[in-house]
Amino acid sequence: MATRETTPGAILPPPRMTTGKVGWIRNNLFSSPSNGATTIIVAALTLYLLWLFVDWAFGTADWSVIPTLGGTLVLGQYNSDSVCPSNDCFWRPQASLLIAMTYFGILWAVAATTLVRGVALTTAFVAAAMALLPLPFDEMGMDVRLLLVANIPAVFLGRWLGRNTPVGSTRNLIIIAFVGFITVYFLLRGIEGVPGLYPVPSRFWGGLMLNILLAAGGITASLPIGIMLALGRRSNLPVVKMLCIGFIEFFRGVPLITLLFMSQTLVPLAFPRDFPLDEVTRAGIVITMFSAAYMAENIRGGLQALHRGQTEAARALGLPPWNTTTFITLPQALRNVVPAIVGQYISLYKDTTLVFIIGMLDILHMGSSFIGSNREFLPHSRELFLFIALVFWVFNYGMSYVSRRVERNLGVGER
Amino acid sequence: MTNGDASDNGVEDIIIARDVHKWFGSFHALRGVSTTVKRAEKVVILGPSGSGKSTFIRTINRLEEHQRGEIIVDGITLSNDVRNIDAIRREVGMVFQQFNLFPHLTVKDNITLAPMKVRHIPRAEAEDTAMGLLERVGIPEQAEKYPAELSGGQQQRVAIARALAMQPRIMLFDEPTSALDPEMIKDVLDVMTELAQSGMTMLIVTHEVGFAREVADRVIMFDEGMIAEEAPPNEFFINPKSDRAKLFLSQILH
Amino acid sequence: MADQPRGILTYQGIPVWRHAVLIQWALQIISAIAVVTLVVWFFSNVAFAINDRDIPFGWNFFGRSYGTPVPEHALPFNDSTDSYAYALLVAAVNTIILAVAGVILAIIVGTLIGIARLSPNWLLSRLSLVYVEFFRNVPLLVQLLFIFYFILVLPPITETYNLFDVLYINNAGIAMPQPTLSSGIAPGLGWVAAAGAGVFLGYTVYKLRNRREIVTGAVSYPLLTGIGTAVGIAAVAWVAIWAMAGDTPLGLSIPAPDDRFGRIEDGLRVRSGAIVMLVGLVMYTAAFIAEIVRAGIQSVSRGQTEAALAVGLKPVGVLRNVTFPQALRVIIPPLISQCLNLTKNSSLAPAVGFADLTNVGITMTQTAPAINIFLVIMLAYLAMSLAWSAVGNFYNWRTRIVGT
pLDDT at C16 over 80: no
Nearest to B36 among A1, A5, A10 (CB): A1
pLDDT at B77 over 80: yes
Taking CA–CA distances from B13, the nearest residue in chain A reads A1
> pLDDT value at position C1?
45
Indicate the pLDDT class of residue C401, thresholds 50, 70 and 90: low
| Claim to verify: residue C38 and residue C76 sit in the same structural domain | no
Instruction: Tell which A residues from 336 to 395 touch C, by Cβ distance under 8 Å.
Output: 346, 349-351, 353-354, 356-357, 364, 367-368, 371, 378-379, 381-382, 385-386, 388-389, 392-393
| Claim to verify: residue C303 and residue C359 sit in the same structural domain | yes
Shortest alpha-carbon distance between residue B94 and chain A (Å): 26
Nearest to B123 among C214, C307, C312 (CB): C214
- The yes/no answer on whether domain A219-270+280-415 falls in CATH 1.10.3720.10 is yes
Greatest CA separation found in chain B?
A: 55
Nearest to A264 by CA among A249, A248, A286, A247: A286
Task: Tell whether C166 is covered by a domain.
Answer: no
- Measured at the CA of C261, the angle between CA C259 and CA C262, to 5 degrees, comes to 60
For A219-233, how does the pLDDT look when each residue is reduced to its tens digit (9 = 90+)? 989 999 999 999 988
Nearest to C312 among B121, B126, B166 (CB): B166
From the candidates B2, B59, B104, B128, which should be mutated to test the interface with C, based on the most C CB atoms within 10 A? Answer: B104
Measured between alpha carbons, how far is A316 from A294 in angstroms, rounded to an integer?
A: 32
pLDDT at A2 over 60: no
> pLDDT value at position A80?
78
> pLDDT value at position B4?
39
Stretch C286-293: mean pLDDT? 94
Q: Is there a contact between C83 and C64 (Cβ–Cβ < 8 Å)?
A: yes
Question: A314: helix, coil or strand?
Answer: helix
- Percent of chain A surpassing pLDDT 90: 22
Stretch A184-191: mean pLDDT? 85
| Claim to verify: residue C21 and residue C111 sit in the same structural domain | no
Nearest to C160 by CA among C143, C176, C144, C179: C176
Task: Tell whether C170 is covered by a domain.
Answer: no
> pLDDT value at position B7?
45
Residues of the domain holding C28 = 8-52
Nearest to C179 by CA among C112, C250, C124: C250
Backbone φ and ψ of C270, nearest 5°: -105, 120
> pLDDT value at position C400?
62
Question: C377: helix, coil or strand?
Answer: helix
Burial of A33 (0-12, 13-18, 19+ CB in 10 A): exposed
Alpha helices for C246-312 (secondary structure H)? 272-299, 302-310
Measured between alpha carbons, how far is B196 from B3 in angstroms, rounded to an integer?
A: 10
| Claim to verify: residue C386 and residue C327 sit in the same structural domain | yes
Stretch C43-67: mean pLDDT? 83
| Claim to verify: residue C35 and residue C89 sit in the same structural domain | no
β-pair type (B42-46, B201-205): parallel
Shortest alpha-carbon distance between residue A335 and chain B (Å): 30
| Claim to verify: residue C72 and residue C120 sit in the same structural domain | yes
Backbone φ and ψ of C257, nearest 5°: -70, 140
Task: Tell whether C216 is covered by a domain.
Answer: no
| Claim to verify: residue C46 and residue C77 sit in the same structural domain | no
Measured between alpha carbons, how far is B104 from B191 in angstroms, rounded to an integer?
A: 25
Task: Tell whether C272 is covered by a domain.
Answer: no
- Measured at the CA of B200, the angle between CA B195 and CA B205, to 5 degrees, comes to 80
Nearest to B148 among C219, C313, C402 (CB): C402
Nearest to C313 among B94, B114, B159 (CB): B114
> pLDDT value at position A33?
76
Measured between alpha carbons, how far is B129 from C35 in angstroms, rounded to an integer?
A: 66
Q: Is B64 an interface residue toward A (CB < 8 Å)?
A: no
pLDDT at C403 over 80: no
- Say yes or no for a CB contact (<8 Å) between A6 and B19: yes
For B86-107, how does the pLDDT look when each residue is reduced to its tens digit (9 = 90+)? 888 888 999 999 888 888 889 9
Of chain C, the end-to-end C-alpha distance in Å amounts to 47
The letter for the amino acid at C54 is D
Task: Tell whether C194 is covered by a domain.
Answer: no
Asked whether the CA dihedral A319, A324, A328, A329 is positive or negative, the reply is: positive
- Say yes or no for a CB contact (<8 Å) between A382 and C146: yes
Beta bridge partners of B223: B226
Instruction: Give the ipTM of the model, two decimals please.
Output: 0.87
> pLDDT value at position A9?
64
| Number of other residues whose CB lies within 10 A of the CB of residue C125 | 17
> pLDDT value at position A409?
64
- How many beta-carbon contacts under 8 Å exist across A and C? 152
Backbone φ and ψ of A351, nearest 5°: -70, -20
Q: Give Cα B99 to chain centroid, integer Å.
A: 12
Which chain A residues are within 8 Å of C358, Cβ to Cβ?
Answer: 255, 257-258
| pTM (2 d.p.) | 0.85
| B201-205 β-sheet, strand order | B92-95, B170-174, B201-205, B42-46, B218-223, B226-231
| Claim to verify: residue C37 and residue C115 sit in the same structural domain | no
- Say yes or no for a CB contact (<8 Å) between B96 and C311: no
pLDDT at B129 over 50: yes
pLDDT at A1 over 70: no
| C173-176 β-sheet, strand order | C161-163, C167-170, C173-176, C268-271
Task: Tell whether C183 is covered by a domain.
Answer: no
Domain count, chain C: 2
Which chain B residues are within 8 Å of A12, Cβ to Cβ?
Answer: 21, 28, 31
> pLDDT value at position C2?
47
Task: Tell whether C131 is covered by a domain.
Answer: yes
DSSP state letter for A42: H
Stretch B192-211: mean pLDDT? 91
For A282-333, how does the pLDDT look when each residue is reduced to its tens digit (9 = 90+)? 999 999 999 999 999 999 988 888 877 777 777 777 777 777 787 778 888 8
Task: Tell whether C343 is covered by a domain.
Answer: yes
Stretch A93-100: mean pLDDT? 89
Indicate the pLDDT class of residue C307, thresholds 50, 70 and 90: very high
| Claim to verify: residue C73 and residue C38 sit in the same structural domain | no
**CB crowding A45-79: b at 16 or more within 10 Å, else e:** eeeeeeeeeeeeeeeebeeebbeebebbbbbbbbb
| Claim to verify: residue C390 and residue C313 sit in the same structural domain | yes
CATH number of domain containing C380: 1.10.3720.10
Stretch C142-163: mean pLDDT? 85
Contacts of C355 (CB under 8 A, 6+ apart): C70, C71, C72, C73, C91, C94, C273, C349
| Claim to verify: residue C24 and residue C70 sit in the same structural domain | no
Q: Is there a contact between B221 and B43 (Cβ–Cβ < 8 Å)?
A: no
